[in-house]
A = this chain, B = another copy of it.
Amino acid sequence: MRPKLTLKQIAKELDVSISTVSKALRDSPEIGEDTREKIKAFAKFYNYKPNNIALSLKNRKTKTIGIIIPEIVHHFFTTVISGVEKVANEMGYNVIICLSDNSFDKEVINMEMLANGSTDGFIMSLAKETMQKGDYHHLIEVISQGMPLVLFDRVVDQILCDKVIIDDVLGAQKAVQHLIDIGCKRIALLSTVDYVSVGKLRTQGYKLALEENDFELDEDLILKIEEMEESEEKIEHFLKDKDVDGIFAVNEHFAISAIKYIQEHGKRVPEDVSVIGFTDGELSKRFIPSLTTVSQHGTRMGEEAARILIEKLEKTPGEDEQYRTVIVETGLVKRNSTKSLK
């Protein structure tokens, strides 16, 4: 076992001072040609690489970005991570990931942990519990310490920081408009509870679309689901006595549960009922019928968030502090779960 080489060891080995070695390796013209070459050759041969930790301590920056997300077993978040990773890597940054598990406490702990020197800034999407509690002291703390924070997807108005979101309202509106365009008359909404911002916004888009087309809003056609676990039975129960010809679901799971129920009860998708989901998942592409969806472009969101964060990180702090909210547009991907009834 051969532990990592340090400047000190090189210096001793070559019988020069540490600072000479340091300068030589950084190509300082202060150092004479021959010594420089000798040192560089030695370092190269023994594969010297400076210690990141020491550099971090010295420079007071770690060149790493912290990502905190509610869960990773969720295709959307995975795509976001992948986008962040890509940009971060290109810019010489590392990515450290923590999962809050949708728990407020875990989110706070993770954030404090990373804030103590491990990362230069944060990219995060809030835990459900955090949004429910409305307690954002950990975010405020971090910001007030001068660490940049970029919120994405599950964001919150009260916090002043950069944000990357998708046009939830517009995306939902487009989806419902599509259902209306193909002739649906009774359109149900499968949503989450309102304190999850996306649930609220997508519901808003749904209502807007109805309004614009002079459809009457029927609260009976709206289902708000609290827990992912109970979604399947809630949806079944909800659809039992409803006579709908269109369904807009705020995520993939809800959409698929709905389709399953419909198919199992003697109706067909899309012939009798058209279904649209809000999602980016693999499932929608491969499901039979494949799902018409509002695509979320997670990768793009991740890239955008990383770019914004790194820009903040590399800007001298004095400059005018401004916060941006970038809206990543959604697109309607038409597949086989919707079909014109006309």
Chain A 118-144 per-residue mask, 1 if CB under 8 angstroms from chain B, else 0: 100000000000000000000001001
Taking a contact as CB atoms under 8 Å apart, the answer to whether A72 and B81 are in contact is yes
Taking a contact as CB atoms under 8 Å apart, the answer to whether A116 and B49 are in contact is yes
Given contacts A96-B96, A260-B288, 15 further A-B contacts (CB under 8 A): A1-B317, A3-B146, A49-B116, A52-B116, A53-B53, A53-B56, A53-B57, A53-B118, A71-B82, A73-B75, A73-B78, A96-B97, A260-B286, A283-B283, A287-B287
Shortest Cβ distance from A281 into B: residue: B282
Taking a contact as CB atoms under 8 Å apart, the answer to whether B50 and A116 are in contact is yes
From the candidates B3, B85, B146, name the one contacting A99 in the complex (CB within 8 A). B85
Say whether, besides A3-B146, A53-B62, A116-B51, A78 and B82 are in contact (CB < 8 Å).
Answer: no
Closest Cβ of chain B: how far from A249's Cβ, in Å? 13
Give A256 to B282 CA distance when docked, in angstroms: 12
Q: Which residues of B contact A82 (CB under 8 A)?
A: 71-73, 99
Give A73 to B84 CA distance when docked, in angstroms: 13
Query: Is A4's CB within 8 Å of the partner chain B?
Result: yes
Closest Cβ of chain B: how far from A321's Cβ, in Å? 9
Closest Cβ of chain B: how far from A74's Cβ, in Å? 8
Shortest Cβ distance from A5 into B: residue: B145
Query: Is A112's CB within 8 Å of the partner chain B?
Result: yes
Contacts A/B (CB < 8 Å), 26 sampled: A1-B145, A2-B146, A3-B145, A49-B112, A49-B115, A52-B113, A52-B117, A52-B118, A53-B53, A53-B57, A53-B117, A64-B118, A71-B82, A72-B82, A72-B85, A73-B75, A82-B99, A85-B98, A95-B96, A95-B97, A95-B98, A96-B97, A263-B288, A282-B283, A286-B287, A288-B288
Chain A 307-326 per-residue mask, 1 if CB under 8 angstroms from chain B, else 0: 00000000001000000000
Q: Which residues of B contact A89 (CB under 8 A)?
A: 98, 106
Copy number in this complex?
2
Taking a contact as CB atoms under 8 Å apart, the answer to whether B286 and A256 are in contact is yes
A1-21 interface (Cβ within 8 A of B): 1-4
Say whether, besides A3-B146, A4-B145, A146-B3, A94 and B81 are in contact (CB < 8 Å).
Answer: no
From the candidates B47, B52, B94, name the one contacting A98 in the complex (CB within 8 A). B94
Query: Is A54's CB within 8 Å of the partner chain B?
Result: yes
Query: Is A114's CB within 8 Å of the partner chain B?
Result: yes
Interface size on A, residues (CB 8 A): 53
Taking a contact as CB atoms under 8 Å apart, the answer to whether A94 and B114 are in contact is yes
Query: Is A192's CB within 8 Å of the partner chain B?
Result: no
Query: Is A79's CB within 8 Å of the partner chain B?
Result: yes
Q: Which residues of B contact A71 (CB under 8 A)?
A: 82
From the candidates B64, B145, B282, name the one contacting A2 in the complex (CB within 8 A). B145
Q: Which residues of B contact A263 (CB under 8 A)?
A: 288
Give A98 to B67 CA distance when docked, in angstroms: 13
Say whether, besides A145-B2, A286-B283, A97 and B99 are in contact (CB < 8 Å).
Answer: no
Chain A 95-114 per-residue mask, 1 if CB under 8 angstroms from chain B, else 0: 11111000000100000111
Closest Cβ of chain B: how far from A55's Cβ, in Å? 8
Closest Cβ of chain B: how far from A322's Cβ, in Å? 15
Q: Which residues of B contact A287 (CB under 8 A)?
A: 286-288
Q: Which residues of B contact A94 (CB under 8 A)?
A: 96, 98, 113-114, 118
